[in-house]
Amino acid sequence: MKTKLIILILLLGLATLSAQQLSPYRNMVHSSRLSNGNIRMQWMDSLDLDLNLPTELWHSTNGGAWQLATSQEIDPWQQALVPYEFGNHLRWRLRTHASMFGQEFIYMHAPYLPTEEFPPSFEHVGLIGTDATGDSVTVYQPYLDFTNTWCAATENKLYSVMENAANSFPVMNSISSYNVYLTTITNPETVVDTLTYAMVHSFNIPGVIQPGLYKLRLNAQFIPSFERIGEIQSQVLGGKLYQACNFSDLYNDPDFGTWPNSLNGLLLTSLSMSVSINLQTFVPTFGLGDYSTLSGILFEDHIYQVHENTLPTIDNVFLANDSLTFDYFDAESDFPILMEAVLPTGEVLYPEPVGFYYGTQPTSFSLLLPSPATQITLRYADNDIDIVEEQYHFTSVSDPGQSPSALACTMQNPFKAGNIRLSGLKQGDVTVTVYDLRGRKLGLIYDGGASRGELDLSWDASVGGKALPNGMYLLRVTQPGNTLLKRFVITK
Q: What is the pLDDT of residues 358-415, one digit of tens each?
A: 777 788 898 989 888 888 999 999 999 989 888 887 754 344 333 344 577 888 888 9
Residues 334 and 476 in one domain: yes
- Determine the pLDDT at residue 241: 98
- Determine the pLDDT at residue 153: 98
Residues 112 and 85 in one domain: yes
pLDDT (tens digit, 9 = 90+) per residue, 113-161? 999 999 999 999 999 999 999 888 888 999 999 999 999 999 999 999 9
Residues 103 and 13 in one domain: yes
Domain range enclosing 411: 313-490
Residues 118 and 161 in one domain: yes
- Determine the pLDDT at residue 97: 86
- Determine the pLDDT at residue 334: 95
Asked if residue 107 belongs to a domain, the reply is yes
CA distances (Å), 266 to each of 154, 181, 193, 232, 459, in order? Answer: 14, 19, 17, 18, 54
β-pairing verdict for 103-109 and 294-298 = parallel
If one compares 71 and 252, the residue with the highest pLDDT of the two is 252
Residues 244 and 274 in one domain: yes
Which of 256, 271, 302 is the last residue in one of the domains?
A: 302
CA distances (Å), 363 to each of 134, 330, 357, in order? Answer: 52, 9, 6
Residues 235 and 289 in one domain: yes
- Determine the pLDDT at residue 181: 97
Residue 23 confidence (pLDDT) above 90: no
Residue 50 confidence (pLDDT) above 80: no
Asked if residue 339 belongs to a domain, the reply is yes
CB 238 within 8 A of CB 122: yes
Residue 432 confidence (pLDDT) above 80: yes
Asked if residue 173 belongs to a domain, the reply is yes
Which of 102-111, 380-389, 479-488 comes out lowest in average pLDDT? 479-488
Which of 269, 302, 335 is the last residue in one of the domains?
A: 302
Asked if residue 463 belongs to a domain, the reply is yes
If one compares 220 and 492, the residue with the highest pLDDT of the two is 492
β-pairing verdict for 294-298 and 284-291 = unpaired
- Determine the pLDDT at residue 219: 67
Asked if residue 274 belongs to a domain, the reply is yes
Residues 467 and 435 in one domain: yes
pLDDT (tens digit, 9 = 90+) per residue, 442-483? 889 999 888 767 889 999 999 988 899 888 788 888 877 667
- Determine the pLDDT at residue 5: 38
Which of 47-56, 99-108, 270-279, 404-413 comes out lowest in average pLDDT? 47-56
- Determine the pLDDT at residue 3: 42
Asked if residue 145 belongs to a domain, the reply is yes
Which of 267, 302, 337 is the last residue in one of the domains?
A: 302
Task: Provide CB contacts within 8 A for 198, sequence distance 6+.
Answer: 182, 183, 184, 185, 213, 214, 216, 271
pLDDT (tens digit, 9 = 90+) per residue, 176-211? 999 999 999 998 877 655 688 999 999 998 888 899
> Whole-angstrom Cα distance, residue 104 to residue 84?
33
Residues 14 and 160 in one domain: yes
Asked if residue 308 belongs to a domain, the reply is no
Residues 349 and 237 in one domain: no
- Determine the pLDDT at residue 17: 46
The pLDDT mean for the chain works out to: 85
Residues 266 and 335 in one domain: no
Residues 343 and 295 in one domain: no
pTM of the predicted protein model: 0.79
pLDDT (tens digit, 9 = 90+) per residue, 290-304? 999 889 899 999 999
> Whole-angstrom Cα distance, residue 301 to residue 151?
14
Residues 211 and 346 in one domain: no
Asked if residue 307 belongs to a domain, the reply is no
Q: Output the domain CATH number for residue 365.
A: 2.60.40.1930
Domain count, the chain: 2
CA distances (Å), 410 to each of 415, 429, 435, 451, 484, in order? Answer: 11, 19, 17, 18, 12
Report the 3 state secondary structure along the chain. CCCHHHHHHHHCHHHHCCHHHHCCEEEEEEEEECCCCEEEEEEEECCCCECCCCCEEEEEECCCCCEEECEEEECCEEEEEEECCCCCCEEEEEEEEEEECCEEEEEEECCECCCCCCCCCHHHCEEEEECCCCCCCCCCCHHHCEEEEEEEECCCEEEEEEEECCCCCCCEEECCEEEEEEEEEECCCCCCCCEEEEEEECCCECCCECCEEEEEEECCCCCEEEEEEECCEEEEECCEEEEEEEHHHHHCCCCCCCCCCCCCEEEEEEEEEEEEECCCCCCEEEEEEEECCEEEEECCCEEECCCCCCCCEEEEEEEECCEEEEEEECCCCCCCCEEEEECCCCCEECCEECCCCCCCCCEEEEEECCCCCCEEEEEEECCCCCCEEEEEEECCCCCCCCCCECCEEECCCCECCEEEEEEEECCEEEEEEEEECCCCEEEEEEEEEECCEEEEEEECCEECCEECCCEEEEEEEEECCEEEEEEEEECC
